[in-house]
Amino acid sequence: MTPALRNLTYACRTDVGLTRKQNEDNFCAPVQSTDPEITPALFAVADGMGGHRGGKMASQLAVDTLRSSYGAAASDKTEEQKIVKAVQDANLKIFETSAVVPEYFGMGTTLTSLIVSGGKAIVGHVGDSRLYHYRSGRLTQVTLDHSLVAQAVREGILTEEQARVHPQRNIITKALGTHSDLDVDTAHVELQRDDLLLLASDGLHGLVEDRDLSDLIKEAGRDLEKLTESLVQAALDRGGIDNVTIVVVRFDGDGETKSETPPEPARNTAPLETTRTPGAEASPDDSESSES
């Protein structure tokens, strides 16, 4: 059965793919409760890097610390302040663990997180996992990819088509765990009834183009379990070269007045800087190396 909270229905799915030996992705979603009134709700997707042990540990630490930090946040803080602090706490936990445990040296992870509170979604984002917003047949990418090719597209150096097949398309420029300090991208999305929020690792969006994602959302209708299954299958049908993790959330409440205006993209809290490559010391057979 698809889990439901007050005004929210959601489904999650993760798959190792067809070429990886281990799933280094993780996700976060509310634990099903007998109390459907629990709100706000926290969701996230993390894509780990740094070898089999390091990548899996980094993404697990990310979602665990995110959940615990957000849950312990002071009540006088805004939701944006809470999610930013939780992402930064997760970053520091990974960075410190990497520094003291040799087998985890160089590990890192992406983290795209989402708080749904009332009729608004608040986003905290680092890396190249994505948040999409779907409304009335229109799919919009909310987050900005922190990757070499995405930065090149924004600067007009590459086209979207060139970026999709570029040999460095999986090299990311910002991740949790590579520095003690971290700037977190944030965004706010005003929700309407039947809006869909899609969190995905690059194992999905790196293989399945946005127009195909939109078509699959339309075909699934209100069946979110069917949607997650069809999205994973689409990635597998296109080679399944990476782990695939998906969280979909439908807003069932009464939100803002009907509008065709798409959400504003996530904003950088500081200029984008190239970080050292997570997992550079691991062998190609055991690590995604510089790839997310």
Give 74-112 pLDDT, tens digit per residue.
999 999 999 999 999 999 999 999 999 999 999 999 999
Q: Which amino acid type is present at position 242?
A: D
Q: Is 71 inside any structural domain?
A: yes
> What CATH number is associated with residue 59?
3.60.40.10
Q: Is 274 inside any structural domain?
A: no
Whole-structure pTM value: 0.87
Q: Is 67 inside any structural domain?
A: yes
**Cα(41)–Cα(189) distance, integer angstroms:** 14
Helix axes 224-237, 210-220, angle to 10 degrees: 140
Q: How far is CA 149 from CA 113, 154, 164, 172, 214, in A?
A: 22, 9, 8, 9, 23
CB 8 within 8 A of CB 250: yes
Q: How far is CA 23 from CA 133, 149, 247, 286, in A?
A: 26, 24, 16, 12
The pLDDT tens digits for 30-45 are 976 555 556 799 999 9
pLDDT score for 42: 96
Q: Is 271 inside any structural domain?
A: no
User: Is residue 82 classed as helix, strand or coil in its secondary structure?
Assistant: helix
Cβ neighbourhood burial of 160 (10 Å; 0-12, 13-18, 19+): exposed
pLDDT score for 292: 56
Q: Is 168 inside any structural domain?
A: yes
CB 240 within 8 A of CB 18: yes
pLDDT score for 90: 98
Q: How far is CA 53 from CA 22, 89, 191, in A?
A: 9, 21, 38
**Cα(26)–Cα(88) distance, integer angstroms:** 17
pLDDT score for 256: 62
Residues 6+ apart with CB under 8 A from 81: 73
Residue with tokens 């922190």: 146
The alpha carbon of 165 is separated from its chain's Cα centroid by a whole number of angstroms, namely 21
Q: Is 263 inside any structural domain?
A: no
Looking at the 3D structure of the chain, how many domains does it have?
1
Q: Is 33 inside any structural domain?
A: yes
pLDDT score for 287: 33
Q: Is 277 inside any structural domain?
A: no
CB 260 within 8 A of CB 19: no
pLDDT score for 272: 33
pLDDT score for 284: 28
pLDDT score for 162: 87
pLDDT per residue as tens, the chain (292 positions): 677 787 899 999 999 999 999 999 999 999 765 555 567 999 999 999 987 689 999 999 999 999 999 999 999 999 999 999 999 999 999 999 999 999 999 999 999 999 999 899 999 999 999 999 999 999 999 999 999 998 998 999 998 888 888 888 889 999 999 999 999 999 999 999 999 999 999 999 999 999 999 999 999 999 999 999 999 999 999 999 999 999 999 999 987 655 555 566 665 544 333 333 333 333 323 333 345 5
pLDDT score for 188: 98
Residue-number span of the structural domain to which 206 is assigned? 4-251
Q: What are phi and psi of 288, to 5 degrees?
A: -80, 0
